[in-house]
Amino acid sequence: MATPPVLPQPPTNFEANPPPMGPTPPQQPPGTDMTGICFRDQLWLNTYPLDRNLVFDYFALSPFYDWTCNNEQLRSQSIHPLDLSHLLKMTGTEYMLSEVMEPHLFVFRKQKRDSAEKVTPMLTYYVLDGSIYQAPQLCSVFAARVGRALYYISKAFGTAASKLEKIGYVDSENEGAASESKTGKEVIDFKEVKRIDHILASLQRKLPPAPPPPSFPEGYVPQSTTEEEKGPETQQGGEPQLPPVDPIIDQGPAKRMKF
């Protein structure tokens, strides 16, 4: 009876390396801009746990790994590639594990070491739930955000311009209609005016003349005559007088006809 194959167990030694899975990647330095690709090895993730001790070996399988770094020299000497006591004594390109949130997030910083105290950051990579990415540079992030903002601003201006064009077109139509109605109202048909004058004149000839105004009652003296007799001096020095009452129009409530 054949025994089922047994998967290799993860190494228990801190300085040991897991056995390589699959073909070895070519030992060539990766390109500078590799933000458009993602690396993930599901077979390795199913075989070994992703923790701070083995995450660098998993990162070394990706195309982001520079095989000329100091960490690879430590790996060839069976030393843990993230051993800071050995990395501080070396110069050149190296990877440093800067942030760890096991088992979901691991951040690697690629830097150039000139001495134990002087390092120059180059690039940043992160392992998020088993997928490896290259973090974009700050200038690229700003350029992308500014480009996106300009896109939406130009789109908003285009939409506003199209709506303003429609509003202006409607206003021009309204102005044209108003001007047409105004010109139509201002145009006078002289034939119609003459025809109406002729009708009014014929009606005036047919109607009897207006009756004369009624005469004043006996003993009534017009107000204008009394004021002329008093003179302007008496009018200015006396009290203000009430307005004249027409005896024909206002004769008191008792004399009005009741309907």
The pLDDT score that the predictor gives to residue 182 is: 55
Q: How would you write the pLDDT of the chain (259 residues) with one tens digit per residue? A: 444 444 444 444 434 444 444 444 444 455 568 888 999 999 999 999 999 999 999 999 999 999 999 999 999 999 999 999 999 999 999 999 999 999 899 999 999 999 888 999 999 999 999 999 999 888 888 888 888 888 888 888 888 777 776 665 555 556 665 555 555 555 566 777 788 888 878 877 777 776 776 666 666 565 655 455 555 555 555 555 555 555 544 555 555 555 4
Distance CA 107, CA 99 (A): 5
Determine the pLDDT at residue 8: 44
Q: Please report the sign of the dihedral spanned by the C-alpha atoms of residue 49, residue 54, residue 56, residue 62.
A: negative
Give the model's pLDDT for residue 2: 44
pLDDT of residue 28: 47
Pairing of strands 105-113, 131-134: unpaired
- pLDDT value of residue 120: 92
Please tell me the predicted confidence (pLDDT) of residue 232.
52
- Distance between CA 202 and CA 218 in Å, rounded? 40
Instruction: Give the model's pLDDT for residue 31.
Output: 52
Q: How far apart are CA 256 and CA 249, in angstroms?
A: 10
Tokens 């500078």, residue? Answer: 32
DSSP H helices in the chain: 42-47, 55-59, 70-76, 84-87, 138-186, 190-206, 223-237
What integer pLDDT is reported at residue 184 of this predicted model? 52
Q: Which of 8, 114, 100, 120 is nearest to 56 (CA)?
A: 100
- Kind and range of the H or E run holding 100: strand 92-101
Predicted pLDDT at 101:
93
* pLDDT attached to residue 5: 44
Query: Which structure tokens are listed for 26?
Result: 């070519």
User: In which region does residue 92 sit, left (phi positive, over 0), alpha (psi from -120 to 50) or beta (all else)?
Assistant: left
- N- to C-terminal Cα separation, the chain: 133
In this predicted structure, what is the pLDDT of residue 44? 94
